[in-house]
Structure 1
Amino acid sequence: MCHGLAVTDYRTVNRATWDERAPAHAASPDYAFARFVDDPAFLSDVVRFDAPRLGDLTGLRAVHLQCHIGTDTISLDRLGARITGLDFSGASLAQARSLATKVDAEVDFVESDVYDAPGVLEPGGFDLVYTGVGALCWLPDIRRWAQVVSALLRPGGRLFLRDGHPMLGTLADARDDGLLVVEYPYFERPEPLVWDQDGTYVETDVTFTHTVTHSWNHGLGEIVTALLDAGLELTMLEEHDSAPWDAMPGWTVRDEHGEWRLRDSPWRLAQTFTLQARKRA
């Protein structure tokens, strides 16, 4: 459920939600903590999907912004990156550090709001900035985010981003008649979408008490333009008709890569996108 309530401190509201969900996410089979422990070569579904696009990460100094409970971060470590994970949820980072200890991963985790990252990390110190699925929608200002990315990258350093497609973010809940209906903003708006939902996107039996979140959509052109204006050059942009989570329950099926696609005519909808950009010298 979404409504138009005004927001005074979106970070406090959203942090309470992520803090509460972190233990449930870590315990859920969807995040596969046990598989990370049992198999030293195991990678998260998100990182495995984009591994061919990521290329050789051996020795690269990297930072994963909005890393949540660290499964993608540890996957990047397993691909050879010297990785730091950053997130504003202390409870999420507690789960990430616990997993890193269990799998002997040398990953640093830093607690900070993403907009404050240049103040707690080394500006210009990173070869790679990585942002994964489900991150940008929690940020009200995409231009400010792009400036953070630029501040962290060394000249010639690379941004790697995969996230939900802004078109997916506009859609109403699945309908009985099979139509895809645009209900929510495509472009970034000053006011957030305020949601009140008692569940989460992974398998769990936990009942949550913090149910309100605030989010924003950002158009694909807005994201690209923000990066260009922040001193980056676009090197790749791919749109995908699949997502690593079931974004439209009842309408989707899992494909051979473990991704979810529309059962009927999946070419109607871009669900995610992958973008790469380099910081100009």
Structure 2
Amino acid sequence: MTTEVDLANGDWLDDNRANWDERVPVHLASDFYDRAQLRAGGSVLDPIARAAIARLYPDGLEGVRVLHLQCHFGSDTLSLANLGATVVGLDFSRPAVEEARRMADELGVADRARFVEANVYDARHVLPEPESFDLVFTTWGTIGWLPDVAEWARIIAWYLKPGGRLYFADGHPAAFVFDDDEGSDGMPTFQYAYSKSEPDVLEESADYADGTAVIQHARTWEWMHPLDEVFGALRSAGIGVDEFAERYEVPWQIFEVTVPKGDGMFGWPAERWLPLSYEIVASRPAE
């Protein structure tokens, strides 16, 4: 399912980039993105990703080369560097990339942490390193900003070494059909179609990291990508899915009714109504 848009240019890209450029200082000033553990040499990875990395690399990340797509200002990228990896982070927001580079210098890991400013769809033009990475890492709020996951998957496959892995975690599309126009029982209500080719063009000035912030560049373009579309894109790109899991927590307050579950995670207050997130471990076949 591909919306007919210019992947490298267009209103969708300009609007989304302006929105995320403006979010950078808001996020840097927020408690949501507290980087104290990062500065102490630790990790700020969420519990889901943290457990996956520990499971996939029980001997640690020394010698592992990682490409982090849509890295924002690189807190997770630098967490992986603190864990021993050599990392490249890519993001389309210049302020985010500039902050990531500054932070890499502050942490003393700039020799193992490089940051590239680019739209994902331009990645191969600015980072021409095919089959260079042991792990492509991309998590939380990523593919919903992209019109074409088939091309996204091809880019991932292009960068992975034979035998290299993808780790992907994001909000579940079954949860994204709801919004906080609450019903009489306090639950979010059905607002969006699970499967459609056209984007939702939204005007939302609120920010998930700071409830008091008002974003001036409020227009965003967002796409719904059902599970079968994501799985099909990976399969068509020659990437085999090794693990798939649905989770009932996310590392932000996705709905007002969701409550803290500890370690920065939010979930349903009682019953596990439906999955809020999912994760995929996939790999390119070894030659």
Fold equivalence (TM over 0.5) = yes
Post-superposition offset of 1:172: 2.9
Cα shift readout 1:240-266 (whole Å, capped 9, x = no counterpart): 0000000001x111113331001031x
Q: Is contact 2:63–2:84 with CA below 8 Å preserved after alignment?
A: yes
Tell me the equivalent position of 1:101: 105
Cα shift readout 1:60-105 (whole Å, capped 9, x = no counterpart): 1110000001111011112221100000110111121122222112
RMSD (Å), alpha carbons: 1.9
Q: Is contact 2:252–2:264 with CA below 8 Å preserved after alignment?
A: no
Please point out which of 181, 185, 210 is paired with 1:177: 185
Post-superposition offset of 1:204: 6.0
| Equivalent-residue separation in structure 1 for 2:188 and 2:31 (angstroms) | 30
Task: Normalising by structure 2, report the TM-score.
Answer: 0.89
Post-superposition offset of 1:206: 3.9
Q: Is contact 2:43–2:80 with CA below 8 Å preserved after alignment?
A: no
Map residues 29-108 of structure 1 onto 2, 5 A cutoff.
Answer: 29-37=31-39, 39-45=40-46, 47-55=49-57, 56-106=60-110, 107-108=113-114
Map residues 187-202 of structure 1 onto 2, 5 A cutoff.
Answer: 187=195, 189-202=196-209
* Structure 2 CA distance for partners of 1:176 and 1:102, relative to 1, 3 Å: farther
Tell me the equivalent position of 2:223: 216
Tell me the equivalent position of 2:152: 145
Map residues 254-269 of structure 1 onto 2, 5 A cutoff.
Answer: 254-265=260-271, 267-269=272-274
Tell me the equivalent position of 2:27: 25
Q: Is contact 2:179–2:255 with CA below 8 Å preserved after alignment?
A: no
* Structure 2 CA distance for partners of 1:74 and 1:10, relative to 1, 3 Å: same
Tell me the equivalent position of 1:163: 170
Please point out which of 237, 246, 249 is paired with 1:239: 246
Tell me the equivalent position of 1:118: 124
Tell me the equivalent position of 1:128: 135
Cα shift readout 1:211-251 (whole Å, capped 9, x = no counterpart): 110000101111011101100111000110000000001x1
| Equivalent-residue separation in structure 2 for 1:163 and 1:156 (angstroms) | 23
Task: Normalising by structure 1, report the TM-score.
Answer: 0.91
Paired AA for residue 232 in structure 2 = T
Q: Partner of 1:199: helix, strand, or coil?
A: coil
* Structure 2 CA distance for partners of 1:254 and 1:54, relative to 1, 3 Å: farther
Tell me the equivalent position of 2:12: 10
Paired AA for residue 136 in structure 2 = V
| Equivalent-residue separation in structure 1 for 2:189 and 2:208 (angstroms) | 21
Q: Does 2:278 correspond to 1:273? A: yes
Q: Is contact 1:241–1:269 with CA below 8 Å preserved after alignment?
A: yes
Post-superposition offset of 1:180: 5.2
| Equivalent-residue separation in structure 2 for 1:96 and 1:218 (angstroms) | 28
| Equivalent-residue separation in structure 2 for 1:22 and 1:176 (angstroms) | 36
Query: Could you list the runs of 5+ residues in structure 2 that have no partner in the other structure?
Result: none
* Structure 2 CA distance for partners of 1:72 and 1:233, relative to 1, 3 Å: same
| Equivalent-residue separation in structure 1 for 2:19 and 2:130 (angstroms) | 30
| Equivalent-residue separation in structure 1 for 2:26 and 2:84 (angstroms) | 29
Q: Is contact 1:254–1:260 with CA below 8 Å preserved after alignment?
A: yes
Query: Could you list the runs of 5+ residues in structure 1 that have no partner in the other structure?
Result: 1-5
Paired AA for residue 118 in structure 1 = R
Q: Partner of 1:231: helix, strand, or coil?
A: coil
Paired AA for residue 122 in structure 2 = D
Paired AA for residue 51 in structure 1 = I
Post-superposition offset of 1:175: 2.5
Post-superposition offset of 1:49: 4.9
Post-superposition offset of 1:54: 4.0
Q: Size of the alignment, in residue pairs?
A: 272
* Structure 2 CA distance for partners of 1:27 and 1:172, relative to 1, 3 Å: closer
